[in-house]
Structure 1
Amino acid sequence: MRVAIVHYWLVSMRGGEKVVEALCDMYPEADIFTLVYDERRVSEKIRRHRVIPSFLQKIPGAKRRYQSLLPLMPFALESLDVSGYDLVISSESGPAKGITPGPQATHVCYCHSPMRYVWDHYHFYRANAGLPTRMLMPWIAPALRAWDVTTAARVDAFVANSRHVADRIGKYYRRRATVLNPPVSVDEFAPATELGDHYLVAGQLVGYKRVDLAVRAFTRMGRKLVVIGEGPEMAMLKRMAGPNVTFLGRTPFAQLKEMLARCRALVFPGTEDFGIVPVEAMASGRPVIAHASGGVLDSIVPDQTGLLFDEQSEAGLIDAVRRFEAMEGSFRTEKIRQHAQQFSDAHFKQRMRQIIEDEIARRKPLPVSLSRVVRNQPSLRPRVARVELPDPHLRNGA
């Protein structure tokens, strides 16, 4: 069986690329197709595979400014030839599922998110883009949405990384999806022997992650907050922060592990498709204070592995921190760590392989002898039910 893995772009190692690594383990002979490829910034595991980039690779500066090439991405993706593969697995967040497989191929899409910049985050991305992009987006976004919806028909089975993403797949593509949370290297994290007195925020410093809520809330409360990460909001966040808020920027993995293991709790005020960092914190035995939205609803057990708050505001977060401190002693390190184990690499690979094999079996044509039996036995043929709509307006609308 010839296998193709299609990933939107390979220019860093984040959550999406960890899924690609797991797929590489499952299919070590697979070829990888991508829009743009920077071999210096991906893992050796990915580099061991044959990686085929699109024509965007030849554009000067594409490895750094790939996002500005969004209008060309559908054309670049469809230029990649996967017609000779039996199994195509697309890893979707940017354009990836729009690949064109052969008619006999099975196409399974692992969806991290429908394209955020043309759907639910459209206005956020446009507001934070440069002037040329802000002026161009209203013209290109409708065509990209139409292409994104129609290419969903090229997918045989969708797998969503959370219930939150499955709901969006249903909303935008009108397709059902199996939920399988992404793999997290939980075994690389461990609890600390001594805790610190700080809370922690870790991740990219961009608007939708709402790090500003944490900085304002902790400045107002006077509690120690450590912020790990970098991004366009760094300067603004530093201006609003009090002396009790420390910014470490981008840190080595060893330091991140230490800070996660020693924090009182991880603070997660934004809405994520899934959220890898909360699982890493729980694998370190630490609870999570998170806004009750997005993927954390799949990963956090309220009052056992963390605490959820409803109002996404400074006041809502302050109230959540005070509630957490009132019950802080009830959280058990080993219980939290045990819960995190269900998000392991091994669990992901086992479940993903089963989903793929089930879809291949479902699409496999019947043997000729059995097809003849079904054709000659009316009782074995599929039955079509006729549904009468009582309301003529509904009938016309349908």
Structure 2
Amino acid sequence: MKIAIVHDYLNQYGGAERVLECFLDLFPNAPVYTILSDLSKMPARFGQVDIRNSYIHSIPFSKKHYKKMLSLFPTVIEQFDLREYDVILSSSSAFAKGVITSPNQIHICYCYTPMRYVWDLYHQYIQEDVKNPIFRMVLPFILHKIRMWDLITAQRVDHFIADSKSISRRIAKYYGRDSDVIYPPVSYDNFKQAENTEEFFLIVSRMIPYKRIDIAIEAFNKLKKPLVIIGDGYDRKRLESLAGETITFLGRQPDEVIIEYYSKCKGFILAGEEDFGITPLEAQSSGRPVIAFGTGGALETVVDNVTGVFFNEPTADSIIEAVRKFESIAFDSSAIRKHAHGFNENRFKEEILNYINTAIQQKEHSHE
């Protein structure tokens, strides 16, 4: 069976791209179709991948200004000619699932979330994230059309895999489709448990508004406790302007540095609602407990009072209360690591492979 992979973009490295790496481990000869790529921001292994970019990739300055071409993306994704493949595996939080396939092909979508800025984060995106007033006026008309396209293209998928129960519920709500849950992988073996930890708390995240790093900064300003923030993004300058003397920004860091900080932190902070959230599992793979916003994917990866604690309101005061509760608990690092092991890469690859093989068998039997 010939398989092709379709991925939204390859211009940043996050949880979705780690999932993609597992797909490539399973199917090393599969080409990856994507809207555009920037390999300077990707791990070296992607230089060896058969990446097939859309024409957007060739437009001057597209790597920097691709979001301004949003209205083109539905048409762009439909231009990929996938007729030679038996199985299409789309890796999608936006447009990848919209590829056109035939009745003889199997399209399996691994869905990180229905497109957030046209569904559950629509009003926040328009009112808070978009700064250009002209773009803000035009954008609702563009997003309305994309929302309709998103709903229609959800019916093209043969099988949906959700990355969490939370996302499975969103797929049912917005698309009216059933889905199966296969949790994303954590690179468990890459992380280590340090003998001695330090007093700082840690955030590893892209710096974008919905991550709510701002309320974590406010909380740690009030607590006057050390908070280290690793990552980058367009919201970084604003966040740095909010930070007091106990907050340290390290920017983007290589994996070995991040692993070291995970192993030595007192605790990990997840301030925003995540669809699944791989970073809390990376912290737990290092034996470190988590303070997480008690909603979304965190409810499926953090065990309250065992591998971390939750805060219930997206406010600095709620985080402060959680930090104080956190510091009253004697966490067992070995138990935390054992919990994280249940999300390891080998488990993920086995479940994905079994799922695809079952879908193929069902297709064959339907033709008998």
Residues 1-398 of structure 1: pairs in structure 2 closer than 5 A: 1-127=1-127, 128-129=129-130, 130-327=132-329, 329=330, 331-366=331-366
Match of 2:183, SS state, is coil
Match of 1:212, SS state, is helix
Cα distance, 1:46 vs. partner?
A: 3.4
Letter paired with 2:30: A
Match of 2:292, SS state, is strand
Letter paired with 1:178: D
Show structure 1 runs of 5+ residues with no match.
369-398
State the percentage of identical aligned residues: 39
Q: Distance in 1 between matches of 2:69 and 2:154?
A: 21
Cα distance, 1:44 vs. partner?
A: 4.3
Match of 2:328, SS state, is helix
Q: In the TM superposition, what whole-angstrom CA distance separates every residue of 1:167-187 from its partner, at most 9, and x where no partner exists?
A: 111110011111111122111
Show structure 2 runs of 5+ residues with no match.
none
Q: Distance in 2 between matches of 1:306 and 1:69?
A: 41
Higher-Rg structure is 1
Q: Distance in 2 between matches of 1:363 and 1:236?
A: 52
- Aligned structure 1 segments of 4 or more residues deviating by more than 6 angstroms: none
Q: Distance in 1 between matches of 2:300 and 2:168?
A: 12
Q: Is the 8 A contact 1:85 1:102 kept in 2?
A: no
Letter paired with 1:296: A
Q: 1:53 to 1:232 in 2, by over 3 A?
A: closer
Match of 2:207, SS state, is coil
Letter paired with 2:299: L
Letter paired with 1:118: V
Q: Distance in 2 between matches of 1:199 and 1:296?
A: 18
Q: In the TM superposition, what whole-angstrom CA distance separates every residue of 1:37-61 from its partner, at most 9, and x where no partner exists?
A: 2344334443333222112122111
Q: Distance in 2 between matches of 1:66 and 1:236?
A: 22
Q: Is the 8 A contact 1:264 1:286 kept in 2?
A: yes
Q: 1:367 to 1:138 in 2, by over 3 A?
A: closer
Q: Distance in 1 between matches of 2:20 and 2:268?
A: 27
Q: Is the 8 A contact 1:82 1:102 kept in 2?
A: no
The root-mean-square deviation of aligned C-alpha atoms, in Å, is: 1.5
Match of 1:80, SS state, is coil
Match of 2:342, SS state, is helix
Q: 1:230 to 1:32 in 2, by over 3 A?
A: closer
Q: In the TM superposition, what whole-angstrom CA distance separates every residue of 1:58-89 from its partner, at most 9, and x where no partner exists?
A: 21111222222110001111111012210000
Q: 1:93 to 1:316 in 2, by over 3 A?
A: same
Q: 1:207 to 1:39 in 2, by over 3 A?
A: closer
Letter paired with 2:88: V
Q: 1:40 to 1:220 in 2, by over 3 A?
A: closer
